[in-house]
Structure formats: C-alpha cells, structure tokens
C-alpha cells in the first residue's frame, strides 16, 4: 500500500492556515500556494540519491555530493495543480512539466479528461502528480491512470489537503504511489468538498468566483 507522508513542518502549517482563510485574497492565496509548494518539494525530494564528486575549493579538494542525474517530471492536474508548479521548479529547475487537464463533473463528481500533454521522455522520468486537493480521489486516480497507460512506473502524488476518502481511493487503485500532503482533513461534504478544506482551489487561485 502507498505510504502517506504528512509534511508538517511549521512553515508549511503556518502558511496553510492563511491559505484556508476565506479572507485571503487571490494574490496572497497564489503566493502562499507557491511558497508551500517549494517547501513541500524540499520534503518530497528527501530520498533522491546523491553521488560523490570532488571539487576544488580555493583552499583544497573537497569530497562533496550532488544529485545523481535523476530525471524528474512534474504533472500538474489542470487547473489548480498549475498553482504549485513554479514553487517546485524553484528547487528543481531541470524538471520537465507535463499537463493533464481534468475537471470534476459537479453532479457525478467524476473526472472528465480534456487535455494531456507529456514530455516525450516521460517514461525515463520519476513523476510527481500535483494537485492541491485530493477529495474523492477521482481526479488523482485518473491522472495517474493516464501516466500508467503510457507505461510510466515511478509516480508520486503531491497535494496540499487530502480527505481520508481520497487517500483510501488512491491507495486502493494505485498501491505503489506514495502520497505527500500538508494536511489530512476530516471528511467530504455532500458536494464532494473537503471539510474544513479551503473551498475550490482552482477558483481561489485564478479568481474565477
């Protein structure tokens, strides 16, 4: 079963509080999501392998370590996943970005696919699927399925807030995908919104409501 890592660093939790606040405006919401994404990138890359190199300092030769050429791909689920991309790229500038466009039908809560564009070398990359919200898990599962259908095997999922129902759904359908979240909330309401959550992440990021 996929593991769940809760990124509970105080800086992440502090910023998440303001992200949840309904009085936070679009500009601040976007900036805070960007900052939390950077901090979460620090946590999600904890297991990246290093290799030894020697560098000449002005004083002597030093045994040092660098990331061992690991190729990463970021896969934001449109729209809301876009809000986390730049924050991650600040720490991982060589990552390539693929896009999976999904919206959740408001009646059925089922994901509807409308766009997929992936890097040509996606099979060689370790992939991080990004979406601020893991509610029913339908969108994350569908995005992971898009990647697996193309033969991708190394996949992690990164979200800001997850509902227990969404975690269970991903663990059931994709047991080899680890999930990184800043918080696990209480439950889903009758409209499939995470409680207490933050509302509609896409609308809050882009000011569409």
Ligand X SMILES: O=P(O)(O)OC[C@H]1O[C@H](OP(=O)(O)OP(=O)(O)O)[C@H](O)[C@@H]1O
Ligand Y SMILES: O=c1cc[nH]c(=O)[nH]1
Residues designated as active site: 104, 108, 200, 203
Residue 200 interacts with ligand X (CB under 6 A)? yes
Q: H helices within 45-163, ranges in order?
A: 82-89, 138-149
Q: Which of 200, 204, 205, 206 binds Mg ion (CB under 5 A)?
A: 200
Unique residue bearing structure tokens 């099979």: 123
Residues 148 and 116 sit within 8 Å (Cβ to Cβ): no
Residues 33 and 24 sit within 8 Å (Cβ to Cβ): no
Q: For 193, how many CA atoms within 13 A lie in the half-sphere containing its CB?
A: 10
Q: Give the binding range for ligand X (CB under 6 A) out of 3-11, 65-73, 89-97, 138-146.
A: 138-146
Tell me which of ligand Y, Mg ion, ligand X, none is bound by residue 2, counting a contact when its beta carbon lies within the kind-specific cut-off of 5 to 8 angstroms: none
Give me the least distance between CB of 200 and ligand Y, in Å please: 4
132 belongs to an annotated ligand binding site: yes
For the chain, give percent helix, strand, coil, nearest 5. 35, 30, 35
Binding-site residue numbers for uracil are 194, 199-201
Q: Could you list the residues that contact Mg ion (CB under 5 A)?
A: 200, 202
Q: Could you list the residues that contact ligand X (CB under 6 A)?
A: 77-80, 102-104, 109, 111, 131-140, 166, 192, 200-202
């Amino acid at each position: 079963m996929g593991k769940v890592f809760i990124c509970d660093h105080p800086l992440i939790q502090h910023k998440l509080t303001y992200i949840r606040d309904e009085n936070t405006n679009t500009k601040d919401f976007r900036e805070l999501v960007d900052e939390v994404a950077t901090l979460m990138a620090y946590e999600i890359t904890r297991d990246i392998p290093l290799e030894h190199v020697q560098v000449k300092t002005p004083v002597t030769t030093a045994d040092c370590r660098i990331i061992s050429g690991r190729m990463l791909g970021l896969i934001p689920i449109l729209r809301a996943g876009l809000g986390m991309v730049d924050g991650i790229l600040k720490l991982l500038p060589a990552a390539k970005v693929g896009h999976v466009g999904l919206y959740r039908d408001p009646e059925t809560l089922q994901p509807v696919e409308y766009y997929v564009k992936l890097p040509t070398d996606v099979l060689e990359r370790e992939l991080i699927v990004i979406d601020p919200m893991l509610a029913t898990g339908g969108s994350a599962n569908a995005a992971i399925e898009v990647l697996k259908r193309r033969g991708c095997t190394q996949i992690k999922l990164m979200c800001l807030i997850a509902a227990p129902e969404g975690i269970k759904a991903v663990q059931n359908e994709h047991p080899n995908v680890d999930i990184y979240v800043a918080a696990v909330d209480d439950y889903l309401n009758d409209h499939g919104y995470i409680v207490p959550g933050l509302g509609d992440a896409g609308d809050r990021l882009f000011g569409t409501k």
